[in-house]
């Protein structure tokens, strides 16, 4: 079981790095952006927020299963 938890932790760390890269790559629309571009930007922000929340919950669950204190 510990190796399973380690593998899950590695997967979660990879997902965290991917989310970080996506958030850094996301650029706010310029002033002359179309409404569609603005909607796409907001939609991606929403997706990033949901993915981040899900990831944090999975990390919390993993720590609980591993018996680690939540920090």
For residues 41 and 34, give the distance between their C-alpha atoms in angstroms, rounded to a whole number.
11
Q: Count CA within 13 A, CB hemisphere, residue 27.
A: 5
Rounded to two decimals, the pTM is 0.72
Virtual torsion, Cα 34, 37, 41, 43, nearest 10 deg? 110
Tens digits of residue pLDDT in 1-31: 467 878 888 898 999 999 999 988 888 888 8
Task: For residues 20 and 32, give the distance between their C-alpha atoms in angstroms, rounded to a whole number.
Answer: 27
């Amino acid at each position: 079981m510990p190796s399973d938890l380690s593998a899950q932790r590695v997967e979660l760390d990879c997902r965290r790095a991917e989310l970080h890269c996506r958030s850094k790559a996301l650029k706010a629309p310029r002033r002359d952006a179309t409404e569609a571009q603005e909607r796409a930007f907001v939609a991606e922000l929403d997706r990033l927020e949901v993915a981040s929340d899900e990831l944090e919950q999975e990390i919390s669950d993993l720590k609980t299963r591993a018996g680690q204190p939540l920090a």
